[in-house]
Amino acid sequence: MTATKKARKAVFLDRDGTLIRERGYLKDPARVVLEEGAAEAVNRLNRCGFAVVLVTNQSGVARGYYTEEDVEAVHRRIAALLADGHARLDGVYYCPHYVDGEIEAYRQACSCRKPESGMLLRASEELGIELAGSYMIGDKLTDMEAAGREGLTGILVKTGYGESEWKACLRGPAPAEPDRVAADLSEAVDFLLWVERDLASPETGGGRRERTACRWSSKWVSAAFLEQCLALHRRRRETIVFANGVFDLLHAGHVGYLQAARDLGDVLVVALNDDPSVRDLKGPGRPLLPVEERIEIVSALACVDYCVVFRERRVDRLLERLRPDFHAKGTDYAEETVPERETVIRYGGRVRIVGPRKEWATTDLVERIRGRVWKSS
């Protein structure tokens, strides 16, 4: 009997704004520029055994802006630039269709145009790829939706259209949300290799793991992906701590609270209120900083491992979903006054009051700033 070859994982890459610079209906191969660090990132994936597959919507063909021959010439140029960096693509798939296109042969609704997953399925069949456990990296939420349809982990990069897509996702319900956000392709590859090699390793060394500063520009993850990560931490017998707040104008009290929370265990998850729930809690004019900026500021703290956003006034539903070992609150609470105490006790967790004595308040800080501005005007 001949053994069946085991399917391998893949990293699917969007093209424009992810692998190469966004040019807007790119026709000329001479205008192709790889995103910074892209060749090295692809090389690392090649060396780690991933299939690296390009999947790109090219509606410019249907719109009459360029031909399929032009698309293929651009792809040859990309392959040459990657080869200069000792990197390669294992497959290239593109969709030339568009339902409102000018060219009749391509004017159609299809199953290959993202967010449909036809290109992923075709690559899986032709290249022997196991979609479960694979990754999709792109700069649009349509990339993330395609990933979600087939159970891939979706990583949104902030290059190309990614920054605006990320902000739109945080502003309210979207057709899909990423599992993770990264500054660029290089950081996205750093993260997924960390998940595959470090987080997925069951080895703990018999004690609390060494704490090292995280390199990620943002530690935000979706609640669904966070559940998966925490399951791996539990497999490593690591203690999970949960803290939450607005964190508008981060001050010394916030830092002391989060550092003390992390001292309770091995992994610290910080949940931040989204902007509408902050306005509901704090009133008009708040937050001073939008949630994407608050995420990046909290992410810069070495004691923080993950950030997640919640949209309610209270965090009970997220606690019930994640079930951390400890729910840490600041010293403006007593254990019996923590709003989510009953939820935590019900699932078997523990509430702890941590951090310095309450001497700072963002509201007081805002009033002091406003007072000084008023006096100087």
Supply the DSSP string of 147-199, one letter for each residue: HHHTTPEEEEESTTTHHHHHHHHHHS--S---SEEESSHHHHHHHHHHIIIII
In 10 A of CB 200, how many CB atoms? 12
The candidate with the shortest Cα–Cα distance to 154, out of 145, 167, 162, is 145
Burial class (CB in 10 A: 0-12, 13-18, 19+), 317: middle
Give the distance, in angstroms, between the CA of residue 281 and the centroid of all CA atoms in the same chain: 27
Question: Do residues 333 and 354 lie in contact, with contact meaning Cβ atoms separated by under 8 Å?
Answer: no
User: In the annotation, is 14 catalytic?
Assistant: yes
Beta bridge partners of 57: 95
CA distance 343 to 204: 30
| Inter-axis angle of helices 185-194 and 38-47, nearest 10 | 20
CA distance 327 to 307: 15
* Given the residues 14, 143, 184, 190, the one annotated as active site: 14
Q: For the chain, percent helix, then strand, then coil, each to nearest 5?
A: 40, 15, 45
Helix (H) or strand (E) holding 138: strand 135-138
In 10 A of CB 24, how many CB atoms? 8
Q: What burial letters (b/e) apply to 231-243, b meaning 16+ CB within 10 Å?
A: eebeebebebbbb
Question: Do residues 31 and 74 lie in contact, with contact meaning Cβ atoms separated by under 8 Å?
Answer: no
CA distance 235 to 247: 31
Query: Rounded to 5 degrees, what are φ and ψ at 305?
Result: -100, -40
User: In the annotation, is 275 catalytic?
Assistant: no
Catalytic residue list: 14, 16
